[in-house]
């Protein structure tokens, strides 16, 4: 019943009203008592510790918000200054026996492959809700389920190197120990393999590396922005994590330097989103330049977006004649031959993205197709402008983005090196979903349950991590109905 109440986001007041209608429902106080018992039990198994963050925080007010609920924004902002963490070893000791029972892990081959991920969710324009999770790659059945990405670090604040450095000290010490000696669980010593996957920003922060708009922008090779469109050159993963600060652009020690650089894997979801964003922006810019960008064209695009259930609209900024628009895809109104060329470019990218998610993709074929796609993207104009023999090309070298570079020159390497798992297993969609759910569900439900901002300031992060522990025990109970621990649920 605790699981039903939590998953259904039923507030205490709403549940009390339900019990007045249905007499057979357990009283609300018994649900609260059960939850307390679970928290006590789980705190014995997986202890939650709090970390006090530095008081001075240079809040960035230029971020666009992912969460718009004003109550949630106020509550998360009030919680700034305190982070939560728990031991990855404690979590492993709790979940591994169940993974053995399910046949996910093999006692005769005691190896555990953990995937570490991170995400920062904008709450309003001032604060981020930042979390670090880990998942078990062998648990393929649940790798895309947010409930199986276990939170080890959580805090409201800034998504930057300094904050993460403070919050991850003990976590990094544990990871180093796990890499060197593994972990003993019930008499079996397990070897730990480690991987890292996140969006570009979080990945480069944890690597202590430049942002994507820098001259030296690639975490894996030594390319510069000046060379980004040169498809004749060959760029491979050439850096080593052990001496990574010798390379240009690496300004700080990597937070997770126990993980080999070839195991720092870009998120396939963000590859799709960022490249689609660039293609869409270039398309709309071309429609505007050719004079087709009128009210009729805008209406056609918005209607088509509504048809495919994508929230999209145009707007004009104050004192500005240019049009802004929601990111992502749409239709065009270009001359047929031109439209076909652009459509083929889009279709080619769709084929590449589909191949990224296919575990059977041949990396050599992918590399060939990706290079051909970039060559088409950079098709130059031919002939004399305004003459009959002029054929307009596609896009300029400075339209190539870092994500395109990774798509063309490095994804085939990751496909080859991580064929056992497939790049789809490193998608950050479940981690982002988990972060979004935790922020919107927990803080909104906490307010409905009558918590005040002072309580949230003191206990918000700790309660959120307890909720995560409670859900872990609920899942354990569901998968092991005869386990003695189930009396606590």
Report whether 247 contacts 222 (CB < 8 A). yes
pLDDT tens, position by position, 166-196 = 999 999 999 999 999 999 999 999 999 999 9
> How many CB atoms are located within 10 Å of the residue 358 CB?
14
- Mean pLDDT over 227-234 rounds to 94
pLDDT at 113 over 90: yes
pLDDT for res 452: 43
Among 226-235, 375-384, 459-468, the minimum mean pLDDT is found in: 459-468
How is the chain split into domains, by residue range? 48-199+428-488, 208-290+334-427
pLDDT at 138: 98
Per-residue pLDDT, 311: 65
pLDDT at 268 over 60: yes
Say if residue 416's pLDDT is above 80. yes
Query: Each residue of 40-68: pLDDT tens digit?
Result: 676 677 888 888 776 555 555 455 555 55
CA angle 152, 158, 160 (to 5 degrees): 80
CA distance 290 to 284: 10
DSSP string over 277-305:
HHHHHHHHHHHHHTT--SHHHHHHHHHHH
- pLDDT at site 286: 82
Q: How do residues 315-372 score in pLDDT, each as one tens digit?
A: 655 555 565 555 543 344 456 677 788 899 999 999 999 999 999 999 999 999 999 9
Instruction: Write the burial class of residue 243 (CB in 10 Å: 0-12 exposed, 13-18 middle, 19+ buried).
Output: exposed
Q: Give the pLDDT mean for 419-431.
A: 96
* pLDDT on residue 376: 95
Higher pLDDT, 267 or 48: 267
Question: Which pLDDT value is given to residue 454?
Answer: 41
Residue 188 has φ and ψ, to the nearest 5°, of -110, 130
Of 103-107, 259-263, 322-326, the one with minimum mean pLDDT is 322-326
Any alpha helices (H) in 311-428, and if so which ranges? Answer: 336-357, 363-377, 402-409, 411-417
Say yes or no to pLDDT of 443 above 80: no
Overall average pLDDT of the 258-266 stretch = 98
The per-residue pLDDT of the chain, averaged, comes to 81
How sure is the predictor about 9, in pLDDT bands with cuts at 50, 70 and 90? low
Residue-level pLDDT at 13: 72
The answer to whether the CB of 441 falls within 8 A of the CB of 75 is no
- Res 275 pLDDT > 60: yes
Cβ-contact 483, 477 below 8 angstroms:
yes
Mean pLDDT calculated for residue range 265-289 = 90
48-52 vs 183-185, strand pairing mode:
unpaired
Label residue 165 left, alpha or beta by phi (over 0 means left) and psi (-120 to 50 means alpha): alpha
Region 249-260 average pLDDT: 97
Mean pLDDT within 231-251: 95
For 327, list phi and psi in degrees, rounded to 5.
-65, 160
């Amino acid at each position: 019943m605790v699981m039903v109440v939590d998953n259904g986001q039923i507030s205490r007041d709403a549940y009390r009203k339900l019990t007045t209608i249905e007499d057979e429902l357990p009283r609300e106080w018994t649900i609260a008592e059960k939850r307390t018992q679970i928290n006590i039990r789980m705190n014995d198994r997986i202890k939650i510790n709090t970390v006090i963050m530095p008081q001075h925080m240079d809040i960035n007010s230029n971020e666009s918000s992912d969460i718009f609920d004003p109550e949630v924004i106020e509550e998360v902002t009030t919680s700034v200054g305190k982070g939560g963490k728990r031991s990855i070893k404690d979590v492993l000791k709790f979940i591994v026996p169940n993974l053995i029972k399910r046949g996910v892990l093999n006692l005769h081959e005691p190896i555990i492959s953990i995937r570490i991920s991170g995400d920062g969710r904008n709450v309003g324009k001032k604060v981020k809700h930042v979390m670090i999770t880990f998942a078990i790659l062998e648990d393929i059945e649940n790798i895309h389920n947010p409930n199986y990405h276990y939170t080890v670090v959580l805090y409201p604040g800034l998504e930057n190197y300094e904050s993460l450095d403070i919050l991850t000290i003990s976590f990094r010490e544990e990871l180093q120990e796990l890499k060197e000696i593994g972990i003993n669980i019930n008499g079996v010593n397990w070897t730990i393999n480690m991987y890292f996957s996140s969006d570009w920003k979080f990945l480069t922060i944890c690597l202590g590396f430049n942002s994507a708009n820098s001259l030296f922008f690639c975490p894996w090779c030594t390319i510069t922005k000046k060379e980004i469109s040169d498809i004749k050159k060959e760029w491979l993963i050439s850096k080593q994590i052990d001496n990574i600060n010798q390379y240009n652009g690496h300004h700080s020690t990597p937070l997770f330097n126990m993980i080999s650089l070839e195991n720092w894997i870009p998120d396939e979801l963000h590859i799709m989103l960022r490249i689609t964003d660039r293609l869409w922006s270039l398309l709309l810019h071309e429609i505007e330049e050719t004079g087709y960008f009128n009210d009729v064209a805008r209406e056609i695009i918005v209607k088509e977006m509504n048809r495919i259930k994508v929230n999209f609209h145009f707007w004009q900024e104050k004192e500005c004649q240019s049009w802004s628009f929601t990111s992502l895809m749409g239709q065009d109104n270009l001359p047929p031959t031109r439209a076909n060329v652009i459509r083929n470019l889009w279709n080619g990218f769709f084929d590449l993205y589909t191949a990224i998610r296919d575990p059977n993709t041949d990396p050599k074929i992918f590399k060939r197709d990706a290079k051909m796609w970039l060559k088409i993207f950079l098709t130059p104009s031919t002939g004399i402008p305004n003459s009959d023999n002029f054929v307009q090309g596609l896009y300029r070298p400075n339209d190539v983005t870092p994500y395109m570079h990774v798509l063309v020159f490095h994804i085939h390497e990751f496909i080859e090196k991580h064929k056992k798992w497939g790049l789809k297993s490193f998608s950050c969609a479940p981690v982002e979903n988990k972060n979004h759910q935790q922020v919107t569900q927990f803080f909104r439900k906490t307010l409905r349950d009558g918590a005040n901002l002072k309580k949230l300031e003191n206990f918000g992060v700790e309660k959120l991590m307890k909720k995560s522990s409670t859900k872990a025990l609920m899942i354990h109970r569901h998968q092991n109905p005869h386990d003695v621990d189930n009396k606590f649920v």
